[in-house]
């Protein structure tokens, strides 16, 4: 990541909004933000495929569901955070991945400038490509700061996106099973 470039950019924004980037409280802000982006945008240098490479054999291809996976991302239109939870279900094809790797996969794609729709699809697609399950279903529920702190200012509004692949496509029974599992607490 080019930290110098980020620092220059932040300095320009500070000047642009009428601030004085040389005043004490702002002196280290460009550097701080550059370091912050190394973490927040760390998904660009991380590969979900790598995390999904280690797999375990299973005899029963029962549905696996991981839910309440908290994530933080930022929208590519405003570079403001959107955050919430993801739930992923898949029906194995003889192999499963470690549960922590499912959350890791969400994180890899969340730590990039995103659209919620694309984030949802990318998670589903990498599962299909790497794990080759019979099918996968991903649901993401998130609140977008660009809708709550600016623009139409509707706090609490949740955006829900759902993507199905493989056997989940147009299969109401499987989809309903997934939705029912999400309601369990």
Q: Active-site residue 122, yes or no?
A: no
23: contact with Zn ion by CB under 5 A: no
Q: By C-beta, is 99 or 149 nearer to Zn ion?
A: 149
Residues 46-75 that bind Zn ion (CB under 5 A): 75
Q: Active-site residue 130, yes or no?
A: no
Write the CA distances from 142 to 5, 41, 115, 163, integer angstroms: 30, 18, 11, 15
Q: Active-site residue 78, yes or no?
A: yes
Residues 84-143 that bind Zn ion (CB under 5 A): none
d(CA 28, CA 21): 9
Residues 147-166 that bind Zn ion (CB under 5 A): none
d(CA 26, CA 160): 37
Q: Which residues are at the interface with Zn ion (CB under 5 A)?
A: 75, 77-78, 146
Catalytically annotated residues: 75-78, 116, 144, 146
């Amino acid at each position: 990541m080019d930290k110098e470039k980020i620092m220059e950019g932040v300095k320009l924004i500070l000047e642009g909004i009428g601030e004085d980037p040389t005043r004490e409280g702002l002196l280290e802000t460009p550097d701080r933000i550059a370091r912050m982006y190394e973490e927040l945008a760390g998904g660009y240098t991380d590969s979900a495929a790598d995390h999904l490479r280690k797999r375990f054999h299973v005899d029963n291809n029962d549905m696996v569901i991981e839910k309440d996976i908290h994530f933080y991302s930022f929208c590519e239109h405003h570079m403001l955070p959107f955050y919430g939870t993801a739930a992923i279900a898949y029906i194995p094809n003889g192999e499963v991945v470690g549960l922590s790797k499912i959350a890791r996969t969400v994180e890899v794609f969340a730590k990039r400038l995103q659209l919620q729709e694309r984030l949802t699809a990318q998670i589903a697609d990498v599962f299909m490509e790497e794990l080759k399950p019979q099918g996968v279903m991903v649901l993401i529920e998130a609140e977008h700061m660009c809708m709550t702190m600016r623009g139409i200012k509707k706090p609490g509004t949740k955006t829900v996106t759902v993507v199905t692949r493989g056997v989940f496509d147009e299969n109401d029974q499987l989809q309903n099973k997934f939705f029912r599992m999400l309601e369990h607490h």
